[in-house]
Amino acid sequence: MSTEQLLLTGSDRCHNTFHSSEQSMSFRQRSEMTTSPIFEELPKATIVSVSRPDASDITPLLLSYTIEVQYRQFKWCLQKKASQVIYLHLALKKRALIEEFQEKQEQVKEWLQNIGVGDHTAPMHAHDNESDDDAVHFNKEGSSKHRYVPSRAALSVIKPALGRQQTVQDKAKVSMQGYLNHFLSNLDIVNSREVCKFLEVSKLSFVEDYGPKLKEDYLLVKNLHKVLKKDVDLQCFSCRWCNCCNSNWRKTWAVLKPGFLAFLEDPFDTKLLDIIIFDILPASSITSDEKAHLADVIKERNPLHCAFKVSCGNQTVRLRTSSGNKVRDWICAINDSAQRPPEGWSHPHRFGSFAPPRGLTGDRSEAQWFIDGQAAFEAIASSIENAKSEIFITGWWLCPELYMRRPFHDHSSSRLDALLEARAREGVQIYILLYKEVALALKINSSYTKRRLLSIHENVKVLRYPDHFAARIYYWSHHEKIVIVDYQICFIGGLDLCFGRYDTAEHKVGDFPPLVWPGKDYYNPRESEPNSWEDMMKDELDRGMYPRMPWHDVQCALWGPPCRDVARHFVQRWNYAKRSKAPNQEAIPLLMPHHHMVIPYYMGRSQAIEISTDKVETQQNLNRQDLVSWESPSQDIPLLLPQDCHRVDALVVDDLFNGHRKDHPKQPIVSGNLFSCQNSEVEPIMQGMRMKGLADDTKHTNLLSVETFNQMTDSCMQNSIKWWETQERGYQEVLVNETLQAGPRTSCYCQVIRSASQWSAGTGQAEESIHRAYCSLIEKAEHFIYIENQFFISGLEGDATIHNHVLEALYKRILRAHKEQKCFRVIVVIPLLPGFQGGLDDGGAATVRATMHWQYRTICRGENLILHNLNAALGRRTQEYISFYGLRTYGRLYDGGPIVTSQVYVHSKLMIVDDQIALIGSANINDRSLLGSRDSEIGVLIEDKEFVDSTLNGQPWRAGKFTYSLRLSLWSELLRKKTGLEQGRS
């Protein structure tokens, strides 16, 4: 017997304890496993080659066979020795004898009962009908002789050993092929545990959502009981002396997929014992001459122990197998899987992101924008209503009683908790990850939210993270806003599913009597923060005295691989929180990320074939216009904006980027569909978006969490008035109901970017790809940059306090434009005041004053501000390059009531570059959001593929369909407010 087989046999003997749990499995459980076999049709196997370790050695059991197996679109290779085939044959013979004995036993029992001997009602014990420890029952149809594999088929594998080497190999190949054909032609035998182990397959092997079939086998895993403590006290008899079955080691079935390594109880189980999700390795592990490695060999004191480890982020798992060759095979397979393109999860991609750019190969990457809460909440509600399998939700704040549609009296079923309950009752699994706040600093009451959500249904799983004192995280928060449905569509941006966020394009200041904003949803944090959120229908503000604070935000929907990248980020965070907060709670499962499955390399085809999931049929309400499409083909949503692109840009954009007014004759602007299929083209624009010239790594310094700005210098204010008046002329004919709040679903280049670190996602190093993307996009901008953000805090080079480089990138880009004598414009829209309670001079408003200090420090006060440095270099021409704006509206609190005014709180996190690139996400422009090691954030960089004719600076320009429509809709909404004010004055 070979050394490998000896070790394998010894290992099996030492770990009989792990089979005891399988032996105790009930007959009903075994029957359930057989209801969904691994193979639904017969696989095909081909002997590719035959080899022997030594040409002079004629031992038949040492012959090695390379076997190529194909099942549907999956193809994989196996390296098997003749001895392993013989052991497989013996196991099948044993199984056939046991099955035949059981059949005859059942016949005898039935015969005895027919003649009146024996108890007809005797209970059937599970152990009376069980086969051996690893049994998986064949179908009952037919007798055991139809499942019989003749011994002569196995003996033919040994015969070719006699003869010359080439002749032996040729005959061995034919003999082995014949033997494989015997058991691969019977579906019952193929689905037996013995054959599945031989073929290295499991229930996860052919699930398309998890990617191609890679390596699988039994492995011993150390310290797995830290995740699942079952069976740790079971030991074999010899352990009293040699401790061969140390409870620290557990036998598991390991499944390697392109993005993770999963551990199961056995091949026929799908419940995760543990999982390692591959992520970027620390920079110290990556050099120009050496690739990053997730798996490495471990030298054990006992030479008979062959071990290796897999390290990723804060996880390190020690593994054992039966031979050194298997260790090398596993290490090679894991490292190759982590580096395999296009994902290559162990290496950073553009901007240092964990996710690669998508849309480069026609992979159905699509995006759609939404402005303000009405459009976004409608789209999210529609997606939740159509959920079929699972929903992921995470956010900074979540309110279960939030109405997703208004008026709320007419849409009682649209409450978030009602939507989730309806889907949970239909079997949809819902996973919600809440930010656990510091109660003394915030009043979002996530503890109540968790209790309320858990009371909905058992299919709703909730985690709150982090435990601040245990994790030593006191200042930072989970700031992402994510909703993912069935891995098909996800929503990211600035909108939390909470009170105060729902708004329309009108941005009304009053609602009395309440029709749109019930109870505490009538929200104005500048006036008062509720002490409790539980009685949501009770008003916190006097609607007859105080206005609500209008809320302006931007959200984005993603389809295709970008959606799965966002889901991968959520799964990574969920699993990390699960290990930290609920490692032994089986009700809180570990999750596996889905993989975008494109099969060019293992199908042997020159052209990639995308394996698409089943189409999800949606039922649309004809009385309501759905704002988001589900799985239907992409269709343009009519954009009710000026139809003549050239004339609009001549009136608006050309004036803006030349920095002066031009007199244009006033002409009526006709509404129409701006984007038609005939006028749009698909062109790549990725040439200038390579990973180069990125900002250097930044240091980390504590900063306050929120900053704002509400004043400008006189010259900037004069320029602002002049610019807004220019925009009014071009948009004065746009009516209120013509502002579209949802854009077209568009095919785009997309890349998911984030801020994540060890405390927030368990990564090996801090990722600041959002920060790097901001700086790189600003550097490469050609004509203009438009920014909307809740905060604007950044520093110039040499700033010892603020470490993000957004301001430095803007400063250098403006200086370059001035040096080259080119027209370039930066427009920044931010809130007028911080969204915190208290006036500027109130004693308890220290946070308001502090945040405004940092905002002023960035823009117009001190040596590190941008305007001071630009004025020193450019003089009065500074106002031609950069300007800052805030939003304000007014209206009556109720019919016949007083007229009041309020700022429109800008909460969006958006940057548009040259009408071709958009960055949308949850990250603010400050150190908290951008440095990676602080708040966790998510975002997406979208580059257009489809273009329309436009102009910039009086020259023809190809404007992107997604980005151009978003900017025009935003400006239409914002400039309409100004038009209304002017009309009110007149």
Separation CA 274–CA 222 (nearest Å): 11
Bridge partner list, 296: 309
Please tell me whether residue 891 adopts helix, strand or coil conformation. Answer: strand
Contacts 24+ apart (CB under 8 A), 57-63: 58/161, 58/162, 58/168, 59/161, 60/157, 60/158, 60/160, 60/161, 60/172, 61/2, 61/86, 61/158, 62/2, 63/161, 63/172
Specify the DSSP element, H or E, that contains 224: none
**Residue whose tokens read 């020193």:** 872
Q: What are phi and psi of 623, to 5 degrees?
A: -85, -5
On whether the CB atoms of residues 964 and 720 are closer than 8 A, the answer is no
Separation CA 276–CA 191 (nearest Å): 28
Separation CA 800–CA 699 (nearest Å): 10
501: number of Cβ within 10 Å:
23
- Residues forming the active site: 479, 481, 486, 907, 909, 914
Amino acid, single-letter form, for residue 871: N
**Residue whose tokens read 């409870």:** 247
Cα–chain-centroid distance for residue 500? 26
Extract the tokens encoding 477. 């928060």
Question: What's 956-985 look like in SS3?
Answer: EEEEEHHHHHHHHHHHHHHHHHHHHHHHHH
In sequence order, what E strands does 887-979 have? Answer: 888-892, 899-903, 905-906, 910-913, 917-921, 937-944, 946-952, 955-960
Separation CA 437–CA 477 (nearest Å): 7
Question: For the chain, how are helix, strand and coil distributed in percent, rounded to 5?
Answer: 35, 20, 45
Separation CA 543–CA 894 (nearest Å): 8
Extract the tokens encoding 526. 């500048």
CA distances from 973 to 392, 650, 828, 968 (A): 31, 19, 16, 9
The angle subtended at Cα 329 by Cα 326 and Cα 332, nearest 5°, is 150
Separation CA 942–CA 553 (nearest Å): 17
Residues 6 or more apart whose CB falls under 8 angstroms from that of 159 comprise: 171, 175
Cα–chain-centroid distance for residue 726? 42
* CB burial readout 428-442, b (16+ within 10 A) else e: bbbbbbbbbbeeeee
Residues 6 or more apart whose CB falls under 8 angstroms from that of 40 comprise: none
Extract the tokens encoding 132. 């051996």
Going by their DSSP bridges, the two strands 882-885 and 825-829 should be labelled as: parallel
Extract the tokens encoding 73. 């679109």
